[in-house]
A = this chain, B = another copy of it.
Amino acid sequence: MGSRDLPLTGPEGEACTGAFPDAFRAQLNQLMRQRRDVRRFRRDPVDEAVLARCLTAIRLAPSVGLSEPWRLLRITSDAARAAALKNFEKANAEALAGYSGAQASLYAGLKLSGMRDAPVQLAIYCDDETAQGHGLGAATMPEMRRYSVVSAVTLFWLALRAEGLGLGWVSVLDPAQLNRDLQVPAGWHLVGYFCIGHPEELSDSPELERKGWENRQDSLKIETR
With A10-B33, A224-B74 already in contact, the answer to whether A25 and B162 are too (CB < 8 A) is: yes
Query: Is the C-beta of A180 less than 8 angstroms from some C-beta in chain B?
Result: no
A99 to B202, CA, bound (A): 50
Candidates B29, B151, B154, B171; contact of A140 at CB < 8 Å: B171
Contact of B140 with A95 in the complex, beta carbons under 8 Å: yes
**Which residues does chain B contribute within 8 Å of A110, judged by CB atoms?**
136
Query: Is the C-beta of A195 less than 8 angstroms from some C-beta in chain B?
Result: no
**Which residues does chain B contribute within 8 Å of A14, judged by CB atoms?**
30, 33, 204
Contact of B225 with A66 in the complex, beta carbons under 8 Å: no
Contact of B204 with A13 in the complex, beta carbons under 8 Å: yes
Q: How far is the CB of A154 from chain B (nearest CB, A)?
A: 4
Contact of B216 with A8 in the complex, beta carbons under 8 Å: yes
Contact of B91 with A171 in the complex, beta carbons under 8 Å: no
Q: What copy number does this chain have within its complex? A: 2
Contact-size category for A: 35 or more
Contact of B220 with A72 in the complex, beta carbons under 8 Å: yes
Given contacts A20-B27, A72-B220, A132-B214, 17 further A-B contacts (CB under 8 A): A1-B224, A4-B221, A4-B224, A6-B219, A6-B220, A7-B218, A7-B219, A20-B31, A32-B57, A68-B217, A76-B225, A98-B135, A98-B139, A110-B136, A138-B171, A141-B175, A150-B154
20 A-B residue pairs with CB within 8 Å:
A2-B223, A5-B219, A12-B204, A13-B205, A14-B30, A18-B202, A25-B159, A28-B159, A29-B159, A59-B220, A61-B154, A74-B222, A98-B135, A107-B136, A134-B213, A137-B172, A139-B172, A140-B174, A141-B175, A150-B154
